[in-house]
Amino acid sequence: MATTSKLKTVRLQLPASTDDLAALELGTVVYLSGRIYTAREGVYKRAVEDGAGLPAPPEEMGFANFHCSPAATLHPDGSATVGAVTATASFRFAKWLDGWFKLSRCNIIIGKGGMTGEIYKRHFVPHQAIYLTTVGYGTGALLGRGIKGVAATHWVDELGLAQAIWVLDVENFGPFLVESDMTGASLFERENAKIAPNIDKLYAGSKPATLRRYGETDDKTEEVI
Amino acid sequence: MIPITTLQKTAEQLMAKAAIEIPEDYLGGLRACADTEKGDLSAFVIQAMLENYEAAKEDRRAMCGDTGVPRWYVKIGNEARSEGGPIALEAALRRATANATHNVPLRPNRVHPLWRTDHNNNCGIGAPEIEYAFHPDADWIDLTTVHKGGLFGSDYRMLFPGDGIEGIKRFYLDTLIAFGRRGLACQPAIVGVGLGGSKDICMVLGKQAACLRTVGSRNPDPKIAALEAELKDIGNTIGMGAMGFMGSSMVVDCHIEVGYCHTGGMPMSVHMFCLSSRRATARIHADGRVEFRTDPLWFTDYMRRATVEWETPQRVAAE
């Protein structure tokens, strides 16, 4: 599993303690063992915005929230087949996070692409939570291998298979990269800053398009998210 | 007469192949990125992806958990006849999509845009999309499925002749940089560029350029081929690699397809086919024989014809 890399690798047993998380640095490769669950906009809206609360105690669901819909089938007898799993882009979910942290007491969020440093500082740091990003965003088969069982599903009828909560027992589940640490720093923002100086050079001598568009900025070092 | 059961069974096999097996041409392109990538993080990502393809094939599970939005491209030989006609063919493709979603399994991604209704089978109003093309002097049907990621990496803009090639390069960079950050486009990608056509066809051409041409293929117009190579290089000098980390692996290849457009405009679209560039094709012959491949062979001289009439080129004497 990506053993040839020069990057530091850490294996965490879940639930992770605050000390475990405090020891993680940006860009560290992480593998998880223990219990996790999927929850995304459908769950957040229902639990936080509509006030439904959690369908089960956090002790049963785990404390690591995966922004994901599995490629999975639920059989009539209640058993499940999970094929591949991959994260979905997290930046869309920021508005529910504070309520969600309070409700779920989760301290790891796993997703695609991270959020902004500002959101980490405002919502993650007070709850001593970190953000792990999936790798390449396409390592669904490797992640699927790490899933040892489906402990429960919640809200399948209400939200559909893709938006439901899937409680999963995992072993050596990864790889992930530490995108945000306990201080709320962001690996992506650090990388963006390294790339930025080259961007101006790329655009040297090029004129804006004849027909402009609303909302357009000419500062290409800015992000669109 | 091609039996409808053969079409449906082949379509189900294609759905699994596309979801599980990375096409060789994309794999070769990604390995070439791995050989030259200097960024530690970007190199780690590519290495993990190469291992992921192996795991997918060994376990026969989808390579990516987001199995995209399955769609179909159907090319029908002018002499081909299938049992039940085109209506039965469409039903077979919808059935195959639903069955494969359950059996592979694929993620049931397709929902109603407003009510978010999920049939858990990737079928619904207008889903899966089925696009048709035709081919002269042939009695086969080519089925191609593409499972393209649905959210990031595409954009459209009405440029004008005065914007010129520089304007094309600028919009190309805009799109790559906007969606390349944090790797939202799941690069390294096959970038498809649509130039010209009416607005809807401009989007269609760009998407087909990304999804239906193989890495290493070039547009038959030598000047367009040169622009493809230049755009590929430009994309890889942004300084952005896999997941938007510092590096050089942004574009596995760039493909441009053109269509005649309004004399005043130069519409342009950009599409990115991701690290899970899922496509699979089969040719179903008149006698029911089925041949699988990964090159859709979608863009032919006939597809790109510019003349009013079409005359099939004289076959070489040896044939």
Q: Per residue in B178-198, pLDDT tens?
A: 999 999 999 999 999 999 999
pLDDT for B175 beyond 60: yes
- Quote the percentage of chain B above a pLDDT of 90: 95
Q: How many residues does chain B have?
A: 319
Specify whether the backbone of B60 is left (phi greater than 0), alpha (psi in -120 to 50) or beta. left
pLDDT single digits (tens) B239-266: 999 999 999 999 999 999 999 999 999 9
Rounded Cα gap, residues B100 and A213, in angstroms: 41
pLDDT single digits (tens) B115-140: 999 999 999 999 999 999 999 999 99
Structural domains of chain A in order of their starting residue, each with its CATH number: 9-186 (3.20.130.10)
- Quick check: B144 contacting A, CB < 8 Å? no
Query: In the numeric block, which tokens belong to residue B40?
Result: 């530690």
Specify whether the backbone of B244 is left (phi greater than 0), alpha (psi in -120 to 50) or beta. left
pLDDT for A225 beyond 50: yes
Position of tokens 């780690």?
B44
Give buried/exposed letters for A72-83 (b at 16+ CB in 10 A, else e).
bbbeeeeebbbb
Indicate the fold that domain B4-17+63-149+279-293 takes in CATH: 60s Ribosomal Protein L30; Chain: A; (3.30.1330)
Going by DSSP bridges, is the β-strand pair B69-77/B130-135 parallel, antiparallel, or unpaired?
A: parallel
**A21 or A87: which leads in pLDDT:** A21
Chain A residues near residue B242 by CB distance under 8 angstroms: 136
Q: In Å, how far are A40, A42, A140, B213 from A84, measured between CA atoms?
A: 17, 20, 5, 26
CA distance A74 to chain B (A): 9
What is the average pLDDT value for chain B, to the nearest integer?
96
Q: Is A163 helix (H, G, I), strand (E, B) or coil?
A: helix
Do B65 and A135 lie within an 8 Å CB cutoff? Answer: no
CA distance B111 to chain A (A): 10
Do B274 and A138 lie within an 8 Å CB cutoff? Answer: yes
Chain B residues near residue A210 by CB distance under 8 angstroms: 159-160, 162-163, 167
Rounded Cα gap, residues B312 and B306, in angstroms: 14
Rounded Cα gap, residues B257 and B55, in angstroms: 34
Do A69 and B107 lie within an 8 Å CB cutoff? Answer: yes
Q: What are phi and psi of A65, to 5 degrees?
A: -100, 120
A58-72, A119-133, B11-25: the lowest-pLDDT one: A58-72
- Which residues, listed in sequence order, are joined to residue A149 by a DSSP beta bridge? A169
Q: Which residues contact B30 (CB under 8 A, 6 or more apart)?
A: B46, B49, B50, B188, B252, B275
Residue A223: what pLDDT?
76
| Facing residue for A70 by CB, picked from B56, B65, B167 | B65
Pick among A137, A145, A170, A173 to test the B interface (most B CBs inside 10 A):
A137
Do A136 and B242 lie within an 8 Å CB cutoff? Answer: yes
- Quick check: B108 contacting A, CB < 8 Å? yes
Query: In the numeric block, which tokens belong to residue A95?
Result: 């508005």
Residue A213: what pLDDT?
84
A70-74, A173-177, A198-202, A217-221: the lowest-pLDDT one: A217-221
Pick among A25, A139, A189, A201 to test the B interface (most B CBs inside 10 A):
A139
Rounded Cα gap, residues B251 and A113, in angstroms: 19
∠ at Cα B305 (B284, B88), nearest 5°? 30
Confidence of residue B112 (pLDDT cuts 50, 70, 90): very high
Q: Which residues contact A171 (CB under 8 A, 6 or more apart)?
A: A33, A146, A148
Chain B residues near residue A199 by CB distance under 8 angstroms: 177, 238-239
**A212 or B222: which leads in pLDDT:** B222
Is B152 in contact with B185 (CB distance < 8 Å)?
A: yes
Query: In the numeric block, which tokens belong to residue A140?
Result: 């669904």
CA distance A150 to chain B (A): 15
Residue A2: what pLDDT?
45
Going by DSSP bridges, is the β-strand pair B290-293/B251-259 parallel, antiparallel, or unpaired?
A: unpaired
- Quote the percentage of chain A above a pLDDT of 90: 76
CB pairs under 8 A between A and B: 217
If you write DSSP's letter for every residue of chain B in order, what string do you get?
-B-HHHHHHHHHHHHHHHHH---HHHHHHHHHHHHH---HHHHHHHHHHHHHHHHHHHHT--SSSS--EEEEEEEEETT--BTTHHHHHHHHHHHHHHHHHHHTT-----B-TTT--B-SSS-BTTBS-EEEEEETT---EEEEEEEE--SSS-EEEEE-GGGHHHHHHHHHHHHHHHHHGGGTT-SSEEEEEEEESSHHHHHHHHHHHHHSS-TT---SSHHHHHHHHHHHHHHHTSSB-GGG-BSS-SEEEEEEEEE---TT-EEEEEEEE-SS-EEEEEEE-TTS-EEEES------TTTT--SSS--PPPPPTT-
Do A144 and B107 lie within an 8 Å CB cutoff? Answer: no
Is B194 in contact with B202 (CB distance < 8 Å)?
A: yes
Confidence of residue A1 (pLDDT cuts 50, 70, 90): very low
Query: In the numeric block, which tokens belong to residue A16?
Result: 């992770």
The dihedral formed by the CA atoms of B122, B123, B127 and B133, expressed in degrees to the nearest 10: 100
Domain borders along chain B are 4-17+63-149+279-293, 150-275
